[in-house]
Structure 1
Amino acid sequence: MKIQINLVVILLSLVLVGCKTTAPVPMPKTSFKPAENLSNEKVLVVFEDNFAKHLHNESQLMMIFQYDLGQYLSYAIKDSLDSSYATVDIGSTTADKSNYDIVITPRLVRFEAPVPIQVYLRTKSEIEIEYTVNTKAPLKPFIIQGFGDYEIDSDEEEKIYDSLSVSGPDIYYYDVSTGIGMNIPNYAYVAGRDSAIAVRQSLVSLLSQLKKKLKNT
């Protein structure tokens, strides 16, 4: 009871002081099952200028949990495509696209990772990613969307989820003006794992749609 009361006092003090601290959310790298035979089609992934710089913030009380989402997606998208295509390059909007069979421009449609009431609970992360795909004639440009969330959909995914590390140091917050300090549980690491699974689901869906669309042309 004393611990609970002290925690309430600390949180109220932080609210009165009006200070916030930012905790980065480390999203672990996930794996993608490689295709038996990689396609020889050359793929170029074109990221918009600010895509890799996108940051996503989720707040609870005086904590801001920050996802370096743009940078994470930049690597994850390439990794997913590398699992099926022998050549996957990254380029800007001004890159020469003439030597590529497939040009993909990703766009983040939506990302949500609400902080749960208790930091030990899973984060109900959801994400939607869109690909604008340009290929050589006669196929016209098309758009596909992939959705992913924190729910485990398969035995393979469960193994991947269990393999992702959630260990990490507690975040210590100390307010100089009040002399109050507290340890924040390593929620950021748990949240990062849930969000990584959501991203993976979205990219697996996009890859499946892409291959199906190209196969049917």
Structure 2
Amino acid sequence: MARYTGPKTKIARKFGEAIYGEDKSFEKRNYPPGQHGANKRRGKKSEYAIQLMEKQKAKYTYGILEKQFRNMFKKATGAPGITGTVLLQYCESRLDNVVFRMGVSPSRSGARQLVSHRHITVNGEIVNIPSYQLQAGDVVAVREKSKSLDAITSSLANSSKVYEWITWNTSTSEGTYVSVPARLQIPENINEQLIVELYSK
């Protein structure tokens, strides 16, 4: 499956924030990439450019490709509620994102790999589709054979973030997707209204 595999710091610098998590390289050079660096004069961005940038930021943050993202937007448009909020809730409800939020992997790309390699179960069944949409009450767990994997144990040992819509039981290596998060509970710095305006043109 096609995925962005290039330098992540370059993408973070493009958006002006560390969208992939802590990044020492980004902290040293937190200005847009380019041969002239921080000294390059940059003209005022058009409304379209700002909207496009926000959409790209959301896609890179959650690791979703254009076609998939557009399909999610269409689905969000037909769902009850505010379209932009519903779109972000769909992103947060993806299995790879929830595995990341639970601390099983330190990054979404790592979580996606764990899911693809059949290390994760949902309600007792192995699910190897990263984009699988979880429903409130679903139980996500590390497969019994995979509980001793260094990548998983190391990530869980260093995980300290707690999210109100997710529970995690360290002793059993399983957690529950308790509910769909409200917009205020989603920590990502994304202006979803700009994405709605872009797709509505």
**RCO greater where, 1 or 2, for CA within 8 Å and sep 6 or more?**
1
* TM interval, short-chain normalised: under 0.3
TM-score (norm 1): 0.20
Q: Relative to total residues, which structure has the larger strand share, 1 or 2?
A: 1
Q: Relative to total residues, which structure has the larger helix share, 1 or 2?
A: 2
Larger radius of gyration: 1
TM-score (norm 2): 0.21
